Structure 1
Amino acid sequence: MAVRLCRAAPPRRRPAVSATGDRFETIIVEQRGAVDWLTLNRPERLNALDDRMTAELRGYFEGLYDRPDRRIVVLRGAGRGFCSGLDLGSDLARRFREGNVGAAFSVQRGIRNVMLAMRRCPQPIIGLLHGAAAGGGFVLGLACDIRIAAENARMNGAFIRIGLGGGDVGASYLLPRLIGASAAAELLLTGRDLDAQRALRLNLVSEVVPEHELEAAADRYLEPMLATGPIALGLTKEVLNANLDAPSFEAALMLEDRNQVVLSRTADFGEGVDAFRAKRRPVYQGE
């Protein structure tokens, strides 16, 4: 399921309290206006996934369904890397390896439900990838809507290196749709590393910057997205994801037609037209 081999028990840490009042031990959620900056916070384990982090990520992203005040999420990792995948020294990994089939399915579904929640939530997610983005950490990056890589980013779907299949927690679905079937097959069949520059050539990431410039790079995407209508931004993410699997061009057009007609009845559309005519910045209310 991942590539990080961690055997020692993680140190105890006091729970952090987010700006929303949620208590987290393994992630930090910082609100900056309408944007949540979510930091994976197990740096001593290269942000490897354990029970607590998996549950907190799943709960956070599922909670976004009912949080229209949160418009965008920036996902990043503390310390030397983004996320090294499943912590193979954790109880989570032990249940996957040693439990019965039901226990293994529970672990598997618990992790893949994080990626599912990321795709389902209406807020666009910008992933800032640095250092290791391996195994399940790689798929966390794939589940983002926009990815920006640091020059030192190293990605892989290394499940196959440890005796598992190359397709895990969404990799075999997301990766071919992002970089094409041939390149995806190469990476998932071999588990080989993908560096930042090749990821850029494959259009897996939008740009590559020095690590210290990742936050500034994200800001360049946040500004134009925050200038859009909140409902329109969420529906655009929805239609992009849905039409990846549209059975026909006509079906894709029908979904776009629905969105445009619904949005044409919002107050934000009227405000957008008025602002365009007046040559001023629109003030959207999400209504």
Structure 2
Amino acid sequence: MNPLPLKALPTGALRQTLRTHREGPVLTVELNTPEPGNTVTDALLDDLLAVLEDQDPAVRVVVLSARGDDFCLGGDRGEFSRQLAHDPTGGGIRLSGTKARRVCDVLTANPAVTIARVHGKAIGAGLALALACDLRVGAEDATFRLPELALGLPTAWGGLLPRLISEVGAARVRELVLTGRAFTAAEAHSLSILQRVVPAHELDAAVADWARPIVRRPPAALRVTKTLLNSLSHASRLADVSALDGELMAAVVTESQRARGLV
């Protein structure tokens, strides 16, 4: 049984790509397009922004979870193709990149503590969404991968690369990015991508173990402490150029398509 039973919000509980549930100060935001593996689309980014930027100040914990077999299989490459067909200069991709950065920033800077509940596969943009959260718990059989380079894309989505280097270290990140190999939850834990790994059936209990003491913390102290932690983390990123993620993605994708004669 879930130690934190969730009830649907009376309004706005079901969006195009998300389901939201709330129990007191705990808000769960669930990715809700399981058939394509909860791939990241503009619609998903819009829904996440709508929920997170209009969040009730009484919320102390936000849990980011996902429905289906996988947490998130990354960006929707079909949408990239449609965006390029509509605007061969890459304007749509740049706009999506800006939204991705806003979503990850609002997760990180959220006044509530954000918890990623990861199961199945977390690939590319899916890993970025999880990494933007304060706390991350994964199922023992969860797997992770950064396949962008093999797909002809830069690792430039939502500020993923500077966050990874800050949390993991440049040498280890370089190996993961250049090889694009899959890695396990156990390795993700050793790299500090996950702070905890549990059997899949214990994910809800692990989230509750974290949420229970957090919701008892004085709100002002919680907000200030989060701000301090984020400020110190940002200070360690000597050259965070992730504001250019959208431009970099658009430039590489449009050049690749031109080389193939597709635009």
**Fold-level similarity (TM above 0.5):** yes
CA distance in 1, matches of 2:119, 2:108: 21
Q: How does 1:24-173 map to 2 (within 5 A)?
A: 24-64=15-55, 67-90=56-79, 94-96=82-84, 99=87, 100-173=89-162
**How big is the shift at 1:192?**
1.6
> Using a 3 Å threshold, how does the CA distance of structure 1 residues 142 and 37 change in structure 2: closer, same or farther?
same
**How big is the shift at 1:93?**
5.0
User: Which SS does the other structure have where 1:219 is aligned?
Assistant: helix
User: Which SS does the other structure have where 1:158 is aligned?
Assistant: coil
CA distance in 2, matches of 1:158, 1:119: 23
User: Which SS does the other structure have where 2:165 is aligned?
Assistant: helix
CA contact (8 A) 2:83 2:90 kept: no
> Using a 3 Å threshold, how does the CA distance of structure 1 residues 124 and 102 change in structure 2: closer, same or farther?
same
What is the TM-score when the length of structure 2 is the normalising length?
Answer: 0.81
Unaligned runs of 5+ in 2: 1-6, 237-263
**How big is the shift at 1:238?**
1.2
Unaligned runs of 5+ in 1: 1-16, 248-287
The match for 1:268 is: none
**How big is the shift at 1:61?**
1.6
RMSD over aligned CA atoms reads: 1.9
> Using a 3 Å threshold, how does the CA distance of structure 1 residues 239 and 25 change in structure 2: closer, same or farther?
same
CA distance in 2, matches of 1:217, 1:97: 44
Q: How does 1:196-275 map to 2 (within 5 A)?
A: 196-246=185-235
CA contact (8 A) 1:128 1:148 kept: yes
CA distance in 1, matches of 2:85, 2:225: 40
Bigger relative contact order, structure 1 or 2 (CA pairs below 8 A, ≥6 apart): 2
Deviations 1:75-113 (A, max 9, x none): 1110101011112233x5521576223222112212222
Residue range with higher mean Cα deviation, 163-172 or 143-152? 163-172
Q: Which runs of 4+ in 1 moved over 6 A?
A: none
**How big is the shift at 1:231?**
1.6
**How big is the shift at 1:24?**
0.9
> Using a 3 Å threshold, how does the CA distance of structure 1 residues 20 and 183 change in structure 2: closer, same or farther?
farther
Q: Which has the larger radius of gyration?
A: 1
What is the TM-score when the length of structure 1 is the normalising length?
Answer: 0.75
Aligned residues: 228
> Using a 3 Å threshold, how does the CA distance of structure 1 residues 58 and 93 change in structure 2: closer, same or farther?
farther
CA distance in 2, matches of 1:145, 1:193: 23
Query: Percent identity over the alignment?
Result: 32
Give the counterpart letter for 1:21 in structure 2. Answer: T
> Using a 3 Å threshold, how does the CA distance of structure 1 residues 36 and 128 change in structure 2: closer, same or farther?
same
CA distance in 2, matches of 1:209, 1:93: 38
Deviations 1:239-266 (A, max 9, x none): 101111337xxxxxxxxxxxxxxxxxxx
User: Which SS does the other structure have where 1:148 is aligned?
Assistant: strand
The match for 1:250 is: none
CA contact (8 A) 1:96 1:107 kept: no
